[in-house]
Structure 1
Amino acid sequence: MNRARRTMALAVATLSTAAVLTACGGSGGASADASRGGSAPAVGTQDLDPHPAADLRQGGTLKMTIQQWIGQYNPNQVDGTQGDASAITELVEPDLFLLDAKGVPHRNPDFLTSAEVVSDHPQVVRYRLNPKAKWSDGKPLSWRDFAAQWKALNGRDKRFAAADTSGYAQISEVARGADDQEVTVTFGTPYADWQRLFDPLLPASLNATPESFATAWAGTVPVTANAFRIGSYDRTAQTITAVPDPNWWGRKPKLDRIIYWALDGSGYVDAYLNKEIDYTSAASPEAYQRLKGDKGTDIRIGARWDQVTLSLNGRRGPLKDVRVRQAVMLGVDRSALAKVAGKDLPFQPKVLGNHFFMPNQEGYQDNSGGFGKRDTARAEQMLGEIGVAVELRKVPSNDYFDKYIHRSNYDLSQFRQVDQVFRSEAYGGYRTPQGDHTFTNYGGVSSPEVDALLREASRTTDAARQIALYNKADAAVWRLGHSLPLYQRPQIFAVRKGLANFGPTGLGSEQLADAGWLK
């Protein structure tokens, strides 16, 4: 039987490179070309050119790029989830736990003298803050900061536009301990990923009211507490400069300043080769070919939690219909996209069959079912071939998230989701929106089944059961046509020779206080 081809116009807000949404030890030492065509680096692979502090000179500047001028620095607010904003906030705010190369959290002694589960029934965590730790306004870090952050993020006051309430929603009480620097957190239901909460810790003044939560950190970071603070914002030059905080109580950073330059991704390689910046991604075939032979460059390779995703917006237009979403998924040749992305690179990206695990992580399995492989017969025709007309719209980098992704102002969009080492933090991207509040589920595709499975997974402390629940939820996410994971993006950096303790961190935390230039 002949069927008429149906044509639908899908508006796409996209960039020439995938944008980031979103988050040390030995060197992997991978040769730039030795592993061409081989497997991706194993979990835990870092390539930092590690050196002791004595090898580094005091002073110098590290020049980096960011994808856009940042309008919201509160990482817990719905408009503050862009990856560069989070990275800058984490540089200047208390980082209570540091992740090692394999993603295992360890207490940061600069902020915590202790942190431990003191009861299992109910689960109770007791934190002891470093008495030297103070905010830049002179106030000591205290239990009040924990209490305010919990109240803003537990989801009970809907006026707080929280990006993610997971974990916080399970807390029943945050209380003062023996003094203001001791905090007792009691959970109503168990929460395995408790070390991801209050990290970064933010001052009580930010979380005091829904108004301060939304506006106090719009375009600025007024209160800090870490080795670096923000020295200047230059909207004209599109630069943000971080400098060492003279009141810092920990080890002194080696660098004099870190400059972040908001630059369109198409200009990164030229800026690096012109020595305007000190590192850039070499993960695209074109960039890698231009950068690998540069005499002043090290190619450094690692394994990051980094998913290139095609988001399908089910809140409007033809993609509101699950059958249309499934047809679009069946029409995309992900293997071909991964081959293009990995052409001439040291290793080929892995096509993803899972939303929650990377292929080189324990627990990974392909749950895509019949939706992971291109099938034009099932889809009745790929994109144009199946009668779907796609209008590509290139938008300014500064607008990509603020005006399009965060506002659900697209039909299809491509971006990256990174550093979801604690799987429970993915919940906001799959949970059911509450009216216009999408959390981080910008496409709005959800179901009660997925909500229930992800909540249950976050509440079990049994590792094997948790993995099974996330995989069951993943299979349901595939059936919903929520989004299409494309591939695990290669982590390949071009880094200026002589820059030590810097590069791909694997699943670990970036620690720029250790970075510096060799003597």
Structure 2
Amino acid sequence: MSHDGVGPRAVTRSVAFLTAGVLAVPALAGCGSADPAGRPLAGQDIARADRARIADGGTLRWAVDSVPATLNTFQADADATTSRIAGAVLPSLYRMDGRGRPVRNADYLESAEVVETEPKQVVLYKLNQQAVWSDGREIGAADFAAQWRALSGKDTAYWTARNAGYDRIEKIERGKGNLEVRVTFSRPYADWRSLFTPLYPKDVMAAPDAFNDGARKKLKVTAGPFTVKKVDGKKDEVTLTRNVRWWGEPAKLSTIVLRSVPRDKRITALSAGTVDLAEIDPSAARRITVAALQRGTATPLAGPGAHRSAADALRSWAVANGSDEEAADEEISARAKLRRKTAKYARQQRALGGFEVRKSLEPAYTQLALNGAEGPLADERVRRAVARALDREAIAEAVLAPLGLPARPVGSHLALSGQAAYADNSGALGEQDTKEARALLADAGWVPGGPVEEKKDEEEQAAGAEGEEDSGNGAEDASDGGDDGTYIVGEDDESDEDEGDQGDEGDGGDDKAPRDSGTGTRNLQQGGAPGAYAPKGTAAPARAETAPVAKDGKALTLRFVLPSGPGSDTLRTVAGRISAMLERIGIRTEITKVDDESYFKDHIASGAYDLALYSWPATAFPATDARPVYAKPVPGADGSLNVEQNYTRVGTDQVDQLFDQAIATLDDSERRALIRKADSRIWAAAGSIPLYQRPQLTAAREDLANAGAFGFRTPVYEDMGFLKKSAQGPSGSPGRD
């Protein structure tokens, strides 16, 4: 999990100020006849092709964010690349389908089902008879048992990141033969399908030393279409090769090289031909799209110097050939530098013409997190005011519409559209409503235009007093841009709205008074405006809609923390829009940009923020994976607050109870109803506000098939490959199904 990406499913998605009865939770849509889960907003885009059209052999060079510190997905420092490698080389008993739901992987499982529920839950796995490890040994009960013991949490010598689900297993036995595995649970566990994926060989799991160190840089025994050949830290790459003992459909590619390439260097790597597949940001996607449109043209339409007009060019020539030798030398040097940049850009664009952008939506969403541990956001009314001020549709539109992706705000914290547990429960909090947001702030004591304490020295105070004595009429003060502290009672002040708050719900007043053309301030000539004059010091009424709200002499200002690294442009754009929306209800924000490396550790995890943007994955097992994210923080033995992964510090006992009920409910429909009910309560607490499903943009060689923007679906590594020449279209691109 991170602000610009999400971690593997193996990494667990992991104070209360919601007053019972304050918010009415709407009837759950899941209780009706219509399925509220809906359909995925976007399908995968992988240039799907039949295996017969794909050439045998070849090397796929795939850009990744990092070479992983460990190949063990159950360790704390595992990352997305760890999971990608595990998916290619280790057994996955279940894969995600195009709707983000688990489906049995027939390469490993003939069947898996709950065969007993009383007195205890028993799951019987029947393994594929051909399933073997790369050393020739059958996959069997011994591997299941070793993984359970390592991850159960009973032996602290194992450095495990999580034990969810494994801690509910009582015993593991062989069935009628070695290819049958009986798993008996001490307590009911609904998400049993989440277990043993990936499955490691007993060699890795049987002893703490092997678990802790043996699988960090090497995996000697594997059981997937590929095997790990080498982890090269110097070259920043991991090499996977075909597994000769693989019993399924043989891998089309002979080699996959996972190469670490920073996000801001990927255009260079693609154009240089050192990678064939890479996730990219919107600016890189635009370059590749333009390159495809301009294929065959001599000169790119964009790039360095493209914005220069004919007058700019003429002026540059004149300076370069002028009598001022020093200025001419500088201009000649600048012109030469521009020519080099232009030539490099043109070469890159020609090379990028052989790539295309494949796009979908990630199984992850970006949220606005509100730190409810302390400060103004500790008050649930303020959190709800922030939430009600947000136009989530406009934010989703700003991010996704320019990319040609469906722009719909996310309606659940626990699933995404198309997944079984999804339902739009945002109604538990309410739709965007500026008036209601202001009313919530007022109820919490934050008054628009309220007095704010200011430190002034004696000279400033004296100057102010002298100014009051010397002041003339209101018109003179207005024309000078001053403020004599006098307000007109019962009038609407439209000047603020004209200056940046247009479109908000106003008070409906019809102001015909003249305005000062220089400042846009009302010209308060004596007798020129209706209403009574309030005495100096009277708080501004709510008519000043964008005036900062204040309480106890302090304005309401929230710390908005953002990452500053490459690829954070979208988050900064979103933050700017959120700040503008909050300003309309009188909340100011102070945006602080911090290094990516310190963003989570020093700010989000430590609680040094009021507002923040980051992403969470949506898994097929929310009762297990989402509980640590929304569990009510509890004091630890040392007095510190144990927040797990609930970085907003907002939780309720009721949400915890609903998760506990869901995880123990084996009936699918009942469990979904409980998950949706928990989500409604999470919405009502307003600790985090889901905004939009993250865009997934991937640059891929045009002749690369079955790879790209995977969406929900688990990649099928053995089907990836390069099209045969006869299967390519006239431009070298694959024919699309």
SS of the equivalent of 1:489 reads strand
The reply on whether 1:20 has 2:6 as its aligned counterpart is: yes
Report if the CA contact (8 A) 1:164-1:440 is conserved.
Answer: no
Residues 205-263 of structure 1: CA deviation (Å, up to 9, x unaligned): 43345555444433544542211112222222221121112333333211121121222
Taking the aligned partners of 1:493 and 1:405, their CA distance within structure 2 comes to 30
Report the CA distance shift for 1:259/1:395 in structure 2 as closer, same or farther (over 3 A). Answer: same
Residue 430 of structure 1: aligned partner: 630
What one-letter code is carried by the residue in structure 1 that aligns with 2:590? A
Contact 2:42 2:405 (C-alpha < 8 Å) held by counterparts: no
Counterpart residue identity of residue 714, structure 2: S
Which residue matches 1:30? none
Structure 2 matches for 1:142-221, cutoff 5 A? 142-157=140-155, 160=158, 162-209=160-207, 212-221=210-219
CA distance in 1, matches of 2:375, 2:83: 33
1:420 and 2:619 matched = yes
Distance 2:557 2:157 in 1: 42
Following TM superposition, by how much is the alpha carbon of 1:320 offset from its aligned partner in structure 2, in angstroms?
9.0
Q: CA deviation at 1:497?
A: 0.9
Matched, 1:85 2:285: no
Deviation at 1:44, TM superposition (A): 7.7
Change (3 A) 1:370 1:112: closer
Give the structure 1 partner of residue 528 of structure 2: none
The amino acid across from 2:365 in the alignment is: Q
Q: 1:266 to 1:96 in 2, by over 3 A?
A: same
1:251-279, Cα deviation, whole Å (9 max, x unpaired):
32111211212222223344334433223
Contact persistence 1:141–1:181 (CA under 8 A): yes
**79, 85, 100: which one pairs with 2:97?**
100
C-alpha distance in 2 between matches for 1:450 and 1:242: 43
1:78–1:440 Cα contact (<8 Å) kept: no
1:457 paired residue number? 662
- SS of aligned partner of 1:271: helix
Counterpart of 1:118 in structure 2 is 115
Per-residue deviation, residues 31-56 of structure 1 (Å, max 9, x unmatched): xxxxxxxxx98468333333232211
Name the counterpart of 1:357: 415
Q: Which residue of 2 aligns with 1:257?
A: 255
Partners of 1:240 and 1:358 lie apart in 2 by 32
8 Å CA contact 1:164–1:427 kept in 2: the answer is: no
Deviation at 1:511, TM superposition (A): 0.7
Instruction: Letter of the 1:391 partner, please give it.
Output: T
Q: Distance in 2 between matches of 1:413 and 1:62?
A: 37
Q: 1:19 to 1:206 in 2, by over 3 A?
A: same
1:486 and 2:691 correspond: yes
Distance in 2, matches of 1:210 and 1:449, equals 38
Q: How well do the aligned residues superpose, as a CA RMSD in angstroms?
A: 3.6
TM-score (norm 2): 0.58
TM-fit CA distance, 1:86: 1.4
Matches within 5 A, 1:15-414: 18-23=4-9, 42=40, 45-80=43-78, 82-121=79-118, 122-136=120-134, 139-157=137-155, 160=158, 162-209=160-207, 212-281=210-279, 284-293=281-290, 294=292, 295-311=353-369, 321=378, 323=380, 334-361=392-419, 363-367=422-426, 369-370=428-429, 373=432, 377=438, 378=440, 380=549, 381=556, 383=558, 386-396=587-597, 411=609, 414=613
SS of the equivalent of 2:227 reads strand
Supply the distance in 1 between the matched residues of 2:71 and 2:377 (Cα, whole angstroms): 32
Which secondary structure does the structure 2 equivalent of 1:258 belong to? strand
Closer, same or farther in 2 for the Cα pair 1:320/1:213, shift >3 Å?
Answer: farther
The one-letter code sitting in structure 2 at the alignment partner of 1:195 is R
Q: Give the structure with higher Rg (CA).
A: 2
The SS at the match of 1:172 is strand
Tell me if the contact between 2:40 and 2:416 (Cα under 8 Å) persists in the aligned partners.
no
| CA distance, structure 1, for counterparts of residue 269 and residue 408 of structure 2 | 29
- Which has a greater percent of strand? 1
AA at the equivalent of 1:227 = P
Q: Is the 8 Å Cα contact of residues 433 and 444 (structure 1) preserved in structure 2?
A: yes
Counterpart for residue 681 of structure 2: 476
Confirm or deny: 8 A CA contact 1:307 1:418 kept in the other structure.
yes
Distance 1:409 1:216 in 2: 35
Give 1:136 shift: 4.0
> Aligned runs of 1:495-506 on 2, under 5 Å?
495-506=700-711
- What is the rounded CA distance, in whole Å, between the counterparts of 1:322 and 1:149 in structure 2? 44
- Inter-partner Cα distance in structure 2 for 1:400 and 1:245: 40
CA distance in 1, matches of 2:77, 2:51: 37
SS at match of 2:403: coil
Instruction: Report the more deviating stretch, 362-371 or 86-95.
Output: 362-371
Q: Partners in 2 of 1:212 and 1:372 — Cα distance?
A: 53
Q: Distance in 2 between matches of 1:297 and 1:89?
A: 27
Give yes or no for contact 1:43–1:506 (8 Å, CA) kept in 2. no
Equivalent residues of 1:280, 1:495 under 8 A apart: yes
Q: How far has the Cα of 1:400 moved from its partner?
A: 6.9
What is the CA–CA distance in structure 2 between the aligned matches of 1:203 and 1:467, rounded to whole Å? 33
Partner amino acid, structure 1, of 2:669: A
Q: Which moved more, 1:470-479 or 1:323-332?
A: 323-332
CA displacement at 1:482 relative to structure 2:
4.1
- The structural deviation recorded for 1:518 is 0.6
Q: Distance in 2 between matches of 1:22 and 1:460?
A: 25
Structure 2 residue ranges without an equivalent (≥5): 10-37, 293-352, 442-548, 550-555, 560-582, 725-737
CA separation of 1:172 and 1:163: change in aligned 2, threshold 3 A: same
Percent identity between the two aligned chains: 32
TM-score (ref. length: structure 1): 0.80
What do residues 141-164 of structure 1 show as CA deviations (whole Å, max 9, x unaligned)? 221221222233344556655444
* Distance apart, 1:183 and its partner CA: 0.9
Could you report, residue by residue, the CA deviation over 1:62-113 in whole angstroms, capped at 9, with x for unpaired residues? 1222223322332223332x32321222221111223332344443333233
Measured after TM superposition, the shift of residue 198 of structure 1 is: 0.8
Alignment partner of 2:366: what SS?
strand
Contact 2:141 2:174 in 1 (8 A): yes
* CA pair 197-246 structure 1, distance change in 2 beyond 3 A: same
| Alpha carbons of structure 1 residues 21 and 105: separation in structure 2 relative to 1, 3 Å | closer
Query: Matched residue of 2:56: which SS?
Result: coil
Distance in 1 (CA, whole Å) between partners of 2:183 and 2:262 is 43
More helix by share: 2
Q: Which residue of 1 aligns with 2:301?
A: none
Is the 1:314–1:443 Cα contact (8 Å) retained in structure 2? yes
Q: Deviations over 1:468-496 (max 9, x none)?
A: 21122113323445433221123343321
Match of 2:358, SS? strand
Query: Per chain length, whose mean CA-contact separation is higher, i.e. which structure has more relative contact order (CA < 8 Å, sep 6+)?
Result: 1
Separation in 2 of the partners of 1:389 and 1:150?
48
* Distance across 2 between alignment mates of 1:68 and 1:312: 30
Instruction: Report how many aligned residue pairs link the two structures.
Output: 483
- Greater mean deviation of Cα atoms: 493-502 or 333-342: 333-342
